[in-house]
Amino acid sequence: MKWYPCFIFIYFISIMGCGQQTTQKKQAATSNKKQPFPNNPVETKPHNTTYSPAFEDQTRVSSIKTHTAYTSKILAKDLGRPWGMAQLPDGRFLITEKSGFIYLLAENGMQLQKINGIPPVDDKGQGGLLGIAIDLQFEKNRMIYWSFSEADEKGNHTAVAKGKLSSDEKKMEDVTVIFRVYPSLKSNLHFGSRLVFDSTGNLFVSTGERSILEGRKQAQWLTSGLGKIFKITKDGNPAPGNPFINDTKALPEIYAYGIRNAQGLAIHPQTGELWETEFGPYGGDELNIIKAGNNYGWPTITYGLEYNGNKIGEAITQKQGMEQPVYYWDPSISPSGCSFYSSNQIPEWKNNLFIGCLSGQHIIRLQIQNNKVIGEERLLADKNERFRDVLASSNGAVYTITDSGLFIKISRQ
C-alpha cells in the first residue's frame, strides 16, 4: 500500500486521539474512585480493618479547627497515677489516685492535701481507685461517690462506695460500699469505671467485661454484671424505671448492656441523654448514646479485631437488635474520660464533647449536631501525654489529667 502524506497525517492524528481518549478515561476512572480520606479528617493513618461504616460520617468526619485563641497551662505535676476528677461547688478539685486516696486541689492547681479513708483497692493493672462523682446536694450533705477495684477470694471486681467528706477535709467518714459488680474474675483489666449523676440524683455506673474470654461473653448476659451500664440510687438500689427491673431473669440495676470497657460517661447539657466512650479492641473504639434497655453489641458486633489481627466472632459489624455506635475510630485512640462543654466562654465549643485519649495522646473535640458527629479536632497533640480524664468546667476552662501525673488547664487566651 502506498502511503501519501495526507494519509500519514490523518493516521498520526487518529492514533494521538485514541491515546488521548484512553488517558482521559483512565483519569476519569481514577477520579471516580472513592478516595481514602474524602473528608480531610484528622486521622490519616491506614485503617486496621477492612470494615465499612454503617452510615455516612460514622467515622473520619471532616477536621475542624478552633478559631478562638486558647492556651494550655500545667497547674500541677507529680500527681502519681491520677484517674478521675470532679469539681466541688466552690471550684476546687478532687482527683482520684489509683493507689487509693483522693487529692484535694485548689482551683489554681495548688495541692491542699490528701484525703484518706478509702477502703482497700486492688490497684494492679488497670485496677485501683477509679471514677468519682459529687452528690448533687454536696453543699448540704458533703457526700462523695467513687468506684474502685476490690479483691476477694475469687479474684476482683468493680465496686462503688460513698462517704462523707470530714469537716477538716482529710478523710472520708461513714464509708459504705453500696454496689458490687459480680462475678469476680482473676483479671487485672477492664474494670470500667466512670460515675455520673443524672438530673434526678440517680447514678450511672460503667463497668468492663474484664477482657478475658470468660468475661467477654458475659457482656451479653443479663444475669451478669460484666460489660454493662448500671443505673442505681444513692443507696445502691436499682433506679426506679430501670428497663429490666421487673425481669426475673435479669439484674434490675442494668440500664444497658453489650459493653466492652467504658471509661467515659457524660450527660448532654441540652438533651439530658447519656453519652459513653468505649475502648474497642484493635480498632473500633466507640462513642455511643446510651438508652435504656439497649444492647450495644459487644462481642457479637464490632469494628475491631483481636490484638493479634484475628477476626472476632463472626466478624460482623451489624446485627438486628444491636445498636450502632454514633461514631467510631480505627485505628484506636483509646478514649477515656469525656465531658460536654456548656460554658459561653468559647462559643464555638458550646455543647461539644471533649474526650481524653490514651494511646492517641491527644484530646478530641467533637462537634455534634442532631446526635451526629459533624467535626473532629485534636487538642494538645504536641504534649506526648496519655490523657486519662477531661472535665469541662462551668468557668469556661477545660481541665485534664494525664497518666504521667499532670493536671492541665485549657482556657481562652
Per-residue pLDDT tens digits for 360-401: 999 999 999 999 999 999 999 999 999 999 999 999 999 999
Structural domain boundaries, residue 151:
47-412
**Minimal CA–CA distance to 221: which of 292, 282, 300, 289?**
300
- Say if residue 40 is exposed, middle or buried (CB neighbours under 10 Å; 0-12, 13-18, 19+): exposed
Structural domain includes residue 265: yes
User: Which of 47, 157, 190, 268 is labelled catalytic?
Assistant: 190
**Is the pLDDT assigned to residue 44 strictly greater than 90?**
yes
Q: Which three cell numbers stand for residue 11?
A: 493516521
- By percentage, how much of the chain surpasses pLDDT 90? 91
CB-based burial, 72-99: b 16+ in 10 Å, e otherwise = beebbeebebbbbbbbbeeebbbbbbbe
Counting the structural domains of the chain, the total is 1
**Is the pLDDT assigned to residue 30 strictly greater than 50?**
no
**Minimal CA–CA distance to 279: which of 158, 391, 360, 376?**
360
Q: Give the whole-angstrom CA distance, residue 87 versus residue 83.
A: 14
**What pLDDT is attached to residue 161?**
98
Query: For the residues 232-247, what does the mean pLDDT come to?
Result: 98
**Is the pLDDT assigned to residue 80 strictly greater than 60?**
yes
Structural domain includes residue 324: yes
Q: Is 216 helix (H, G, I), strand (E, B) or coil?
A: helix
**What pLDDT is attached to residue 39?**
79
Q: Is 140 helix (H, G, I), strand (E, B) or coil?
A: helix
Residue 399 in contact with residue 383, Cβ under 8 Å?
no
Q: Give the whole-angstrom CA distance, residue 352 versus residue 349.
A: 5
**Is the pLDDT assigned to residue 410 strictly greater than 70?**
yes
Report how far apart, in Å, the C-alpha atoms of 124 and of each of 74, 191, 404 are: 28, 11, 17
Kindly report each contact of residues 94-98 with a partner whose C-beta sits within 8 Å and lies 24 or more positions away, as own/partner.
Answer: 94/132, 94/134, 94/144, 95/132, 95/401, 95/407, 96/129, 96/130, 96/131, 96/132, 96/146, 97/128, 97/129, 98/123, 98/127, 98/128, 98/129, 98/130
Which residues lie closer than 8 Å to 93 by C-beta, 6 or more apart?
85, 86, 87, 103, 104, 105, 106, 107, 399, 407
**Is the pLDDT assigned to residue 32 strictly greater than 70?**
no
Q: pLDDT (tens digit, 9 = 90+) per residue, 325-345?
A: 999 999 999 999 999 999 999
Q: pLDDT (tens digit, 9 = 90+) per residue, 275-316?
A: 999 999 999 999 999 999 999 999 999 999 999 999 999 999
Structural domain includes residue 182: yes
Q: Which three cell numbers stand for residue 405?
A: 501525673
Q: Give the whole-angstrom CA distance, residue 361 versus residue 386.
A: 5
227: left (phi over 0), alpha (psi -120 to 50) or beta: left
Structural domain includes residue 112: yes
The dihedral sign for the CA sequence 278, 281, 283, 284: negative
Q: Give the whole-angstrom CA distance, residue 122 versus residue 399.
A: 27
N residues, the chain: 413
Structural domain includes residue 372: yes
Residue 298 in contact with residue 258, Cβ under 8 Å?
yes
Cα 87 off chain centre by: 19
Residue 34 in contact with residue 349, Cβ under 8 Å?
no
Residue 390 in contact with residue 398, Cβ under 8 Å?
yes
Query: For the residues 113-122, what does the mean pLDDT come to?
Result: 98
- What CATH number corresponds to the domain at position 398? 2.120.10.30
**What pLDDT is attached to residue 38?**
60
Structural domain includes residue 312: yes
Q: Give the whole-angstrom CA distance, residue 354 versus residue 30.
A: 37
Q: pLDDT (tens digit, 9 = 90+) per residue, 6-29?
A: 333 333 333 334 333 333 333 333
Catalytic-residue membership of 190: yes
Structural domain includes residue 26: no
Report how far apart, in Å, the C-alpha atoms of 216 and of each of 23, 220, 224, 298 are: 53, 8, 11, 8
CB neighbourhood size of 348 (10 A): 13
Q: How confident is the model at residue 37 (pLDDT cuts 50, 70, 90)?
A: low
Structural domain includes residue 259: yes
